[in-house]
Chains A and B, each alone.
Chain A
């Protein structure tokens, strides 16, 4: 079967699973999980990048894994901070891709839609490939498209909660009307959640906590890889519609035609 490949800003991705690199107990666990997941792209926080350090670090380890690095602006509270962070990341990592995260609320790390829109406008003008982390807000997604975003990354549930697709109804609206790829980010707690997102027609998912804090991160990475493949294959194969009502075995209206 010939799979449709994911394309973002002219780059083709074999895998529809993206990984976050935080929360792992060791660099080794993280790199092994990245490799086992067969992902093409991982995100890492600019605030964790230490260009001055000479010892083994996140960046070197990830380069060994031969994946595309997507810096993120985690820690930024305003558009201004995020734009500065993106510019620094562009220098440090030599990439114009950026995962935009602006969360003035450090408790639930919920994204600020207003600042995110401002930053997307600004970064798109500066030539960045912008991947904003947002609420599952269909109107915001359209506004971000107008602002020149490369994808939209709506959350499935509050980040780190492993609660799954709590925003399903809104994700479905976003997917149905989006002109840019939809990457479901945050809250995906189990491979079945990832599969479900893919079955719904999401273009990709991003997973971090569920893999990083699993008892066996490497095996969990494989499980997510398989979940994503299964879900996507089901979507492309045309899932049967779920009937919302009972279908009587002998039609109730057949008497009309007798």
Chain B
């Protein structure tokens, strides 16, 4: 079966890197003026040269985002189910070699956590877990979704890569979207950071969005872990991936997230530093290239950046997030995946969004559209 792997293999990391370095300001300006933007234009807007046109790009980003998404920001919060994990990922708090107590929510604990989220006003929820197929496998997720579905309008998952049939089962249960990040598209670097566990299989992960698309999932979320490798090259590959998927799975929506490496228990320092201005450039490049892409900004980012990104391309934000299972109520001190940076409550974020002249949206889906 044809998958993204076939497209991916036609590109060389070093070639993309060279191309990015050779982009001139004239190339950037010509891309900005083009009516229909291609991946080559995305590459130009991503280049070091394009950083000189950031102000212009920000203006275009604001205009395009308002036209397509209006002055709205969708709010959601993560619900961590488990920090059990059989993988070694040297940047992640849940890494197998991290000698800390593990926790998986019981049914009762799940409902307690859910009730806290409900009291925060959360209606779109993202279920997250590490990769431990025996303890936290598809039956666990099916049960969790079944329990949560009456209480939330929209359920997303960010869990280990699954098989097409398994995604179908979860879709039928009511899962609206699936997020899976490649972390990095650089194969050697990927191997270095993921030395052990099922996740060490680069290609199985690379083909996961194809399986999600074939299963008919409404929305597919992609991203790279910013800090593992050159963010420009990695982001080009991420866009290449989205471009391919949009053509093949035309009934699915796509979202992109921007996890910048944050400190966590026992992890390494990022190799590549991505500054705020770089992240803004990247967000603008995505928006100008792809007007329909959902852009999600998590609490990894700090207050100042989040306050300003509301009107600069973002379409969704998490808020009040806890990144550990039980973090909202039942086990506040359990092992967390990463430290959040913006620790403001959901109410504070809603107020901030309103002050920016935007409408914080809590509900923009209905379970009537999921799992029937």
Contacts and interface: CB of A to CB of B under 8 A. Distances in A.
Interface of A: 22-27, 45-50, 53, 55, 75-77, 80-81, 84-85, 88, 104-108, 160-162, 209, 212-213
A81 B363 CA distance: 18
Given A23-B69, A53-B363, A107 B368 contact: no
Q: Identify whether the interface residues of B are mostly helix, strand, loop, or mixed.
A: loop
Nearest to B69: A23
Given A81-B368, A88-B368, A47 B363 contact: yes
Interface in B330-369: 354, 357-359, 361-366, 368-369
Nearest to A78: B372
A247 to B, nearest CB: 39
A140 B253 CA distance: 27
A84 B372 contact: yes
A26 B354 contact: yes
Contacts of A46: 366, 368
Contact of A107 (B292, B365, B372): B292
A60 B19 CA distance: 54
A49 to B, nearest CB: 8
Interface residues of B, number: 31
Contact of B253 (A23, A26, A55, A106): A106
Interface of B: 66-72, 121, 123, 153, 218-219, 246, 250-253, 292, 354, 357-359, 361-366, 368-369, 372
Contacts of A105: 250-251
Nearest to A212: B70
Nearest to B290: A107
Contacts of B358: 25-26
A142 B155 CA distance: 40
Given A77-B369, A107-B246, A107-B250, A24 B363 contact: no
Contact of B366 (A23, A47, A108): A47
Contact of B71 (A24, A77, A107): A24
A213 B253 contact: no
A45 B72 CA distance: 14
Given A47-B366, A80-B372, A212-B70, 13 more contacts: A24-B359, A25-B357, A26-B71, A47-B365, A75-B365, A75-B369, A84-B368, A105-B250, A106-B218, A106-B219, A106-B253, A108-B292, A160-B67
Best-buried of A45, A76, A77, A106 by chain B (most CB within 10 Å): A106
A22 B366 contact: no
Contacts of A108: 292
A23 B70 contact: yes
A160 B68 contact: yes
